[in-house]
Amino acid sequence: MSGIIQLLPDHVANQIAAGEVVQRPASVVKELLENAVDAKASDIKLIVKEAGKTLVQVIDNGLGMNTTDARLCFERHATSKIRQAEDLFDLHTKGFRGEALASIAAIAHVEMKTKQDQEELGNHIVIEGSKLTTQEVAVLPKGTSFAVKNLFFNIPARRNFLKSETVEFRHVLDEFQRVALAHPSISFTLIHNGSELYNLPGSNMRQRIVAIFGGKTNEKLVPVSEDTDLIKIHGFVGKPEFAKKNRGEQFFFVNDRYIKSPYLHHAIMSAFEGLLKEGNQPSYFLYLQVPPHTIDINIHPTKTEIKFDDEHSLYAILRSAVKHSLGQFNVAPILDFERDANLDTPYQYKDKTADFPTIQVDAGFNPFAADKPSKSLSSFGSYTKDSPQSNWDSLYVGLKQDTEEIASFSFESTEVTGSLFEEEATESSVQATYQIHKKYIVSAIKSGMLVMDQNRAHQRVLYEQFLTNITIQKAASQQLLFPLEFYFSSVEMQVLREMQSTLENTGFVFDGLTIDTVQISGLPVLMAESDVSVVLEELINNIQNEIPETSFSQSDTIAKSMSKSLAVKAGTYLTDKEQENLVNSLFACKEPTISPFQKPTFITLTVEDLDKRFAL
C-alpha cells in the first residue's frame, strides 16, 4: 500500500519559503540590494512605488549573469556564493542560501534584465508566480535590473496584511539605509513615487552617515576605533547630549552586514552609563570586523541575527572601546544631569541676546462676572466665553441647560444660582483653583472637587485648536525678526514638504525648503522660538512612525504631535490666571474629558466620596 506522504511541488515549496524570506516590500528591497552588492556593483539604484507594494526595482552595474545563470538564479537553492558546507564558515558575501529570488518569483511578477560585461547581448526574463513567461536576448547595459511588481498578487491574505504606505515605506527606508551605511564606497540612489530622496555618492563612513542623516549629524559623532585579533571596531557613537528618546539611529555592522544584537547593544548602553538622561538612547554606527569562521550567520532566514563564538570578550572590548572614546573626546565631564532641561538653549540660540519677556495680564478680568469675560491669556489657546462649547459654566452652575452637560457627569445640585462657586464665592476674593505639586489643578465644584492633570488638559486644548486651524480656519502667525534655519536629512525634508501646507495652517511660515535645510520666518502664535527644533523633530519622527490604527489622518497626527510637544509639562508653575485660563479653555473643548491620547484629563471627587472617607 502506498503511503500518504508526498513531496511538495517546487512552486508550493517556494511559496512556503517565501513566507519566511519575504514579509513585506522591504524584504524584497533588502534581498535585491544585497544581491547587487554581492555582484560587486559600484552604483546601485533603488526605485520604489507605493512603498514597494506595486514596484521594487533595483538596477546595478555589477557583474551580471550569463544566459544559463539568468534562468537558474530563480531555482531554489541556486547560488553562486557557496559550493560546500565548509564555505558556510568562510562567508564573504551577503547571500548564500540561494532562496531569495526563488521566493520572490513565487509571489510577485518579476522582470529581470542582465548582461555581463564581456557579452554582446543580455537576457530578458519575465517570471510570474514561479512561471516563466518570457526569456529572450536583448541589447542591455552591463549589470542587472530586477523589477518586482505586484507583491503578494497571488496571496491576498498577505497583501491585505500590509500596513499603510507610511509604515511600509519606513521599513523600505530602514533597509536602504542599512545597506547604504554598510557599504559607503558604493553609490546609492533612492527614488520613491518619482521623487529622488537620496543620491549618495561613494564616500567614507563618516560622509555616508552625514549624507543619510543630515548635516547636523556631523558635530554629534565621536569616533570609535579598536584593533584586536578577535575584533576590529571602527565607527562612531553620538555624543550623549544629543541622545534622544527613540532608538532610531543605532547600527551594528558585522563584516559589512547589518545585524541586530541586544547583547552588544547592552555593551554600548553600559559604556554610556551615567552619561544619559533617563530613557534617552545614544546613537551609534559601529562597524565590526571579525574572522568569518568565528560567527554563524545561518541562524535566521533574514540573516539579521548572528551568533558569535566568543560573545563575552566582544562585549568587553566593545564596551571599553566606546567608553574610551567618550572619555578621550572629553564628552563626559561637560555633562550635568541635575540641570533642568527646560532651561536648555538649543545651540542655535546660544549667542543670541535674550528678549525681555512680555507678560500679558488682563487687569479687568473677573472670572465670576456673568457677562463675557475679557480675552483669556493667549498661552492657553482659544477660549472665548461665548463659544458654543463653553460648558464649563454648567459644571459650576449646576444643570441649568442639560444640553451643555459635560459628557457623562451628572451633578447633584438642584439649585440654580448665578454664582459659579458655593455661597462664599464673592467677586474676585476667592481663588478658584489651586495648583498642587506643579502638576495638578484642583478646584471646588458644586458636586465636590475636580482634579485636573495640567499637561493632559493643555494637550486637549492645543489639539483641538490645531485641528481647527488645520481644517477650518488658518491660524495667525508671529513674524520672526530673524528667520530660523534648521538642518534635516533629505528624507526628513521630504516628510516636511508633505506636511508643509498643513503646517502653514497652524501658523508656520516657510521661506525656503532646500534638499537639507528649512528657513522659517513665522511661527504659530503659541510657539516659542526655542521650541521649534524639538517640535519639528518630534513631528517628523511621529509622522515617519505613524501607526495607522492610532491616527485617522496626517492632520490628526500633526495636531497630536504638536500638542504633545507644546503642552505645559508637569513641573511647570502656573499662575492663578493661567490655571483659570487652562480650566476655562479645557471646558470650552469639544471633548474635554480625555486627552488626544485617550487618557483622562481630570477626575472628580463628590462630597459623598469625601464624606465616606471621613466616616472611617
- Give the interface with ligand ADP as residue ranges (CB under 6 A): 31, 35-36, 39, 60, 62-65, 73, 78-81, 95-101, 144
Which does residue 97 bind out of ligand ADP, Mg ion, none, counting CB within 5 to 8 angstroms by kind?
ligand ADP
Residues 6+ apart with CB under 8 A from 491: 173, 197, 198
Nearer to ligand ADP, 23 or 521 (CB): 23
Nearer to ligand ADP, 116 or 555 (CB): 116
Q: Specify whether the CB–CB gap between 485 and 519 falls below 8 A.
A: yes
Nearer to ligand ADP, 17 or 286 (CB): 17
Nearer to ligand ADP, 39 or 399 (CB): 39
Which does residue 39 bind out of Mg ion, ligand ADP, none, counting CB within 5 to 8 angstroms by kind?
ligand ADP
Quote the least distance from Cβ 56 to ligand ADP, whole Å. Answer: 13
Three-class DSSP category at 132? strand
**Total residue count of the chain as it appears in this document:** 616
Quote the least distance from Cβ 309 to ligand ADP, whole Å. Answer: 23
Nearer to ligand ADP, 99 or 492 (CB): 99
- Single-letter amino acid code for the residue at 31: E
Nearer to ligand ADP, 52 or 524 (CB): 52
Q: How far is CA 92 from CA 89, 95, 97, 255, in A?
A: 10, 9, 13, 8
Quote the least distance from Cβ 148 to ligand ADP, whole Å. Answer: 12
What are the E-state strand segments in 304-430?
Answer: 307-308
Nine-digit cell string for 430: 476667592
Quote the least distance from Cβ 84 to Mg ion, whole Å. Answer: 18
Which does residue 60 bind out of ligand ADP, Mg ion, none, counting CB within 5 to 8 angstroms by kind?
ligand ADP
Which does residue 559 bind out of ligand ADP, Mg ion, none, counting CB within 5 to 8 angstroms by kind?
none
Q: In whole angstroms, give the CA distance from residue 461 to residue 595.
A: 9
Q: In whole angstroms, give the CA distance from residue 375 to residue 379.
A: 11
Q: In whole angstroms, give the CA distance from residue 294 to residue 145.
A: 34
Q: Specify whether the CB–CB gap between 469 and 525 falls below 8 A.
A: no
Nearer to Mg ion, 193 or 304 (CB): 304
Quote the least distance from Cβ 100 to Mg ion, whole Å. Answer: 4
Torsion angles phi and psi, residue 541, rounded to 5: -60, -45
Quote the least distance from Cβ 63 to ligand ADP, whole Å. Answer: 5
Nearer to ligand ADP, 39 or 499 (CB): 39
Nearer to Mg ion, 95 or 373 (CB): 95
Residues 6+ apart with CB under 8 A from 43: 60, 61, 186, 187
Closest by Cα among 430, 438, 381, 445 to 581: 381
Nearer to ligand ADP, 63 or 106 (CB): 63
Sort 288 into a burial class: Cβ within 10 Å, 0-12 / 13-18 / 19+: buried
Which does residue 52 bind out of Mg ion, ligand ADP, none, counting CB within 5 to 8 angstroms by kind?
none
Which does residue 202 bind out of Mg ion, ligand ADP, none, counting CB within 5 to 8 angstroms by kind?
none
Which does residue 62 bind out of Mg ion, ligand ADP, none, counting CB within 5 to 8 angstroms by kind?
ligand ADP
Nearer to Mg ion, 32 or 271 (CB): 32
Q: Which residues of 230-259 are buried (b: 16+ CB within 10 A; e: fewer)?
A: ebebbbbbbbbeebbeeeebbbbbbbbbbb
Which does residue 282 bind out of ligand ADP, Mg ion, none, counting CB within 5 to 8 angstroms by kind?
none
Quote the least distance from Cβ 144 to ligand ADP, whole Å. Answer: 4
Which does residue 507 bind out of Mg ion, ligand ADP, none, counting CB within 5 to 8 angstroms by kind?
none
Quote the least distance from Cβ 35 to Mg ion, whole Å. Answer: 4
Q: In whole angstroms, give the CA distance from residue 590 to residue 596.
A: 11
Quote the least distance from Cβ 87 to ligand ADP, whole Å. Answer: 11
Q: In whole angstroms, give the CA distance from residue 530 to residue 527.
A: 8
Which does residue 78 bind out of Mg ion, ligand ADP, none, counting CB within 5 to 8 angstroms by kind?
ligand ADP
Quote the least distance from Cβ 106 to ligand ADP, whole Å. Answer: 11
State the residue number with the nearest CB to Mg ion.
Answer: 95
Quote the least distance from Cβ 176 to ligand ADP, whole Å. Answer: 16
Question: Where does this chain bind Mg ion (CB under 5 A)?
Answer: 35, 95, 100
Nearer to ligand ADP, 60 or 168 (CB): 60
Three-class DSSP category at 395? helix
Nearer to Mg ion, 95 or 184 (CB): 95
Quote the least distance from Cβ 187 to ligand ADP, whole Å. Answer: 16
The partner residues of 149 in beta bridges, in order of sequence, read 55, 109
Closest by Cα among 351, 378, 316, 376 to 525: 378
Q: How far is CA 506 from the centre of its chain?
A: 21
Q: Specify whether the CB–CB gap between 248 and 337 falls below 8 A.
A: no
Which does residue 65 bind out of ligand ADP, Mg ion, none, counting CB within 5 to 8 angstroms by kind?
ligand ADP
Q: Specify whether the CB–CB gap between 203 and 190 falls below 8 A.
A: no
Q: In whole angstroms, give the CA distance from residue 335 to residue 95.
A: 44
Residues 6+ apart with CB under 8 A from 283: 220, 237, 238, 242, 243, 244, 248, 249, 250
Which does residue 36 bind out of ligand ADP, Mg ion, none, counting CB within 5 to 8 angstroms by kind?
ligand ADP
Torsion angles phi and psi, residue 544, rounded to 5: -65, -35
Q: In whole angstroms, give the CA distance from residue 35 to residue 28.
A: 11
H or E stretch at 100: helix 100-106
Q: In whole angstroms, give the CA distance from residue 372 to residue 375.
A: 9
Label the pairing between strands 509-513 and 477-487.
unpaired
Quote the least distance from Cβ 37 to ligand ADP, whole Å. Answer: 9
Which does residue 11 bind out of ligand ADP, Mg ion, none, counting CB within 5 to 8 angstroms by kind?
none
State the residue number with the nearest CB to ligand ADP.
Answer: 95
